[in-house]
Amino acid sequence: MMLSDPLLMGSDPAPGLVAVEHQEKPDQDQMFLFWRDGESRRQTSEPFSPFIWIAREELLDGPVKDAVIETLAGDAPFRWKISFPTWKACQKAKTWLAKTSGVTAGNPQAPYFLLGDPVQQYLLQSGRTLFKGMRFENVRRMQVDIECFTTRGFEFCNPERDGDRIIAIALGDSSGWREVLSGAELDEKALLETFVARVHARDPDVIEGHNIFNFDLPYLAARAKRHGVKLALGRTGQTPDSRPSRFNIGERTVAYTRFEIFGRHVMDTYFMVQAYDITHRVLESYGLKNVARHFGLSPADRVYLKGGDISSEFEKNPARLMQYALHDIEETEALSRLLSQSAFVQAQMLPFSYQNVSVRGNATKIDALILREYFRQSRAIPLPDKGRPFSGGYTDLFGEGVIQNVHHCDVRSLYPSLMLTRKIGPRNDTLGVFHRLLEQLRRFRISARDQEKAADSDAVRAHFNALQTTFKILINSFYGYLGFDQVRFSDFDAAERVAAEGRELLRQMIDWLRQHGATPVEIDTDGVYYVPPQESSPVKQDAFRKAFAASLPEGIEIEFDGEYAAMFSYKMKNYALLSANGEIVIKGAALKSRGLEPFQRKFLKEMIRLKLEGRDAELPALKAKAESEIRDRQWPVKALAKTETLQDSPATYAAKIGEKGRGRNAAYELALKSGRDYRAGDQVSYYVTGTKKSVQVFAAARLVSEWNPVERDENVPYYLAKLDALYGKFCGGKLGGDGEEP
């Protein structure tokens, strides 16, 4: 399947572009382009002229009047495109425009509009995208993992500590090459110099690691500075640039140190894992070893070491530590191969660097595609619609408890289907790009899905799966685009109409099901769980489904994609399903919240299984067994521990403690006491000590790493009360305290 539509892929078909870098010059900025053709790589350069869109004629003055001014076609407000010879001149004009208009560039209602990324500007202007004509396996990806020595008496390594140092650098790439640079054979300075030499020798397009932004690269940079080693990882010898940054994954904000390496992309599998879990909600931990086990990627002879044992293992058996590091990069490569192909496909379509594809939101991506086409046709662009609240999708719960023989039907891309069949889109999209993009994406997704089914190899199958998944994600984001006031073609009236027509259609579906003997259980935006009519033979079931599908308006299609022996309906969007083969699927934060300790999640799964299988009589015995194991201290401390991600730095938390309404938090208190340089995005694992069930957790908490298995000090009454509260919530037993978790 060769995608060539310029609307989706850009107008320039040039293949093999793997990186674009901006370089400022005194008179005319340049873009350096890096190309790959198999094992060979070449570099070219082109002049670059950044630009600003302007909406008011009186702003065509000051530093703007000396630039190249182009009047665009159409009646939309942003009718002038102003081009500058350098990024410096463009930024100077932006400063003048902000001062003159009294509106900052970050305000979506500003009368001027600047894309703040010069690489995006260049790709949008040129119609080029990365990786055209390439498969994922054609990109040279290098994996990096470091292991560090920690001075005795400290829990975590610190690059600023005299006694701490790098003791292993494991390297590998997608060709199968592997090497571990050992601190038992080289001093730290030689390790770093050899690492830089290997990067240049292997010449990767992408450098990957698990938590590489917040650990490996900052540590490497700090130790290189200490030894006076130039960390020249850039393709033409530049050292990495870094700055604090953050991005959103679902409801979670992730803080990280962004590194940029000239001519290469940095990809973090730790971010990929979090993005995956926002949709699937199946991972207990984002650590490399746990995730690799979850996906079945771990080598058969995988070496496992606890973080606190790294230094001692290096001292007594360095070869085993090197094998451990080697297995880390093997798992990282396999994890990237599994999870990053969607970003690779998007980079072939979008005017973004590969690195930026993974941290940009879907609405921003759709906006970039529309803007590229308006730029190509020299058309004026609109002012974003002003945001306002409106009613969303239809969700409802019709039954609770355990329900037998539940089926599921899904309305295929409900909102996109409504937007296409009923021509609902941005009123200011005079070129009709919104609908054309949506139609093309849907058509290409169907084609990719068909070719995935027909694929004759795992590599081809993975390629088409990445294609169809990418298209699906973008397709389902078009509705959200309409209701996002930060994008150019937002339209809240259109978004409201889509949601309203979707609610009406779903209500009609519920009425039809009831009228034909089925019993709805739950409906959620674009799918419904229901119990089919009683005494329904396979023939009657097939006729029922065909009649249901035929009752829907033209262009609206449904898919019957699940039959379950039982469903435990707890509350809206929180349920568990038991398949015919005994597999259990759990949905919803109330049933799988990471706010629960691991023992609670495990106990809850066991309770749910008993309820789904109609074995409620066994529930008291299940609880009694768990109580006995807590009293006898049979569980490892990790079963009792809670892991929290710091949303602020400990210093910011400490500054807020004195503010009214800011309570103390165990994870932050422990981070402050640890002496470690914790930052936003880091995780802290702790358990609760003491002898009473009612305690101040922040005062009674202790780091898991400080737990002593010989002198166990976990708070048995506290954890028994937690078990009691959980059991009471789902099984009507005795609740702890006021009925809430203690």
Surface-to-core class of residue 534, CB atoms within 10 Å of its CB (0-12 exposed, 13-18 middle, 19+ buried): exposed
How far is it, in rounded angstroms, from Cα 369 to Cα 437? 8
Helix, strand, coil percent values for the chain (each to nearest 5): 45, 20, 35
**Residues 607 and 581 placed together within one structural domain of the fold:** no
For residue 611 the two structure tokens come to: 């309820």
The domain in which residue 183 lies consists of 136-344
Question: What is the Cα–Cα distance from 732 to 739, expressed in whole angstroms?
Answer: 11
705 lies in some domain: yes
Burial class from Cβ neighbours inside 10 Å (0-12, 13-18, 19+) for residue 401 reads exposed
Cβ of 294: how many Cβ atoms within 10 Å?
15
484 burial level (CB within 10 Å; 0-12, 13-18, 19+): buried
- Per the domain annotation, does 557 fall within a domain? yes
Specify the pLDDT at position 383: 96
pLDDT of 681 reads 61
- For every residue of 30-66, DSSP letters joined together read EEEEEEEETTEEEEEEEE---EEEE--GGGS-GGGTT
CA-nearest of 553, 550, 548, 542 to 520 is 548
The per-residue b/e assignment along 611-633, b for 16 or more CB within 10 angstroms, e otherwise, is bbeeeeeebeebbeebbeebeee
Beta bridge partners of 395: 524
Q: Are residues 278 and 196 in the same domain?
A: yes
Same domain, 290 and 312: yes
The total of other beta-carbon atoms located within 10 Å of residue 427's CB is 12
List the chain residues with pLDDT less than 70.
1-3, 153, 155, 251, 279-281, 594, 660-661, 677, 679-682, 732-742
Check if the beta carbon of residue 182 is closer than 8 Å to that of residue 336: no
According to DSSP, the β-strands at 574-578 and 584-587 are antiparallel
Nearest to 639 by CA among 707, 585, 583, 587: 707
- For residues 399 and 502, state if they share a domain: yes
Within this chain, do residues 527 and 608 fall inside the same structural domain, yes or no? no
Q: Which of 385, 324, 499 is nearest to 109 (CA)?
A: 385
The pair of three-digit structure tokens given for residue 406, joined into one six-digit string: 């539940």
Q: Where does a domain end: 568, 592, 616?
A: 592
Q: Are residues 503 and 613 in the same domain?
A: no
Alpha carbons 171 and 188: distance in angstroms, whole number: 16
Q: Helix 118-126 vs helix 362-376: angle between axes, to the nearest 10 degrees?
A: 50
CATH number assigned to the domain comprising residue 307: 3.30.420.10
Q: What is the pLDDT of residue 660?
A: 65
Q: If 0-12 CB within 10 Å is exposed, 13-18 middle and 19+ buried, where does residue 645 land?
A: middle
**pLDDT in the model for residue 649:** 83
Q: Is 174 within a domain?
A: yes
Rounded Cα distance between 612 and 404, Å, is: 9
Written as one string, the DSSP assignment of 628-671 is: HHHHTT-S-HHHH-EEEE-SS-HHHHHHHHTSTT----HHHHHH
Is residue 369, in this structure, part of any structural domain at all? no
Q: Are residue 568 and residue 602 in the same domain, yes or no?
A: no
- What are 99-102's contacts with CB under 8 Å, separation 24+? 100/59, 100/61, 100/62, 101/56, 101/59
Positive or negative, the CA dihedral 211, 213, 214, 218 is positive
Query: In terms of domains, do 295 and 413 share one?
Result: no
Q: Are 328 and 170 contacting, i.e. CB atoms less than 8 angstroms apart? A: yes
Give the count of beta carbons closer than 10 Å to the beta carbon of residue 661.
5
693: domain CATH number is 1.10.132.60
Asked, for residue 110, whether it belongs to a domain, the answer is no
User: Which residue's structure tokens are 């990806």?
Assistant: 141
pTM summary value: 0.86
Q: Please give the structure tokens belonging to residue 156.
A: 């975590």
Domain of 405: which CATH number?
3.90.1600.10
Structural domain contains residue 434: no
| Cβ pair 705, 308 in contact under 8 A | yes
582 and 653 housed in the same domain: no
Q: Are residues 643 and 677 in the same domain?
A: yes
- The pair of structure tokens assigned to 709 is 């298995």
Please give the pLDDT value at position 195.
98
pLDDT at 456: 86
Choose one of 592, 623, 650: the last residue of a domain: 592
The β-bridge partners of 171 are 144, 179
271 and 293 together in one domain: yes
Q: 384 with 486: CB under 8 angstroms?
A: yes
> Pairing between strand 401-411 and 519-524?
unpaired
Residues 668 and 563 in one domain: no
**Measured distance CA(562)–CA(564) in Å, rounded:** 7
d(CA 33, CA 45): 6
Q: Are 102 and 43 in contact (CB under 8 A)?
A: no
Task: Find the radius of gyration of the CA atoms of the chain.
Answer: 28
Q: Is residue 449 part of a domain?
A: no
In a domain, residue 567? The reply is: yes
User: Among 544, 568, 592, which residue terminates a domain?
Assistant: 592
Q: How many domains does the chain have?
A: 3
Residue 598, amino acid? P
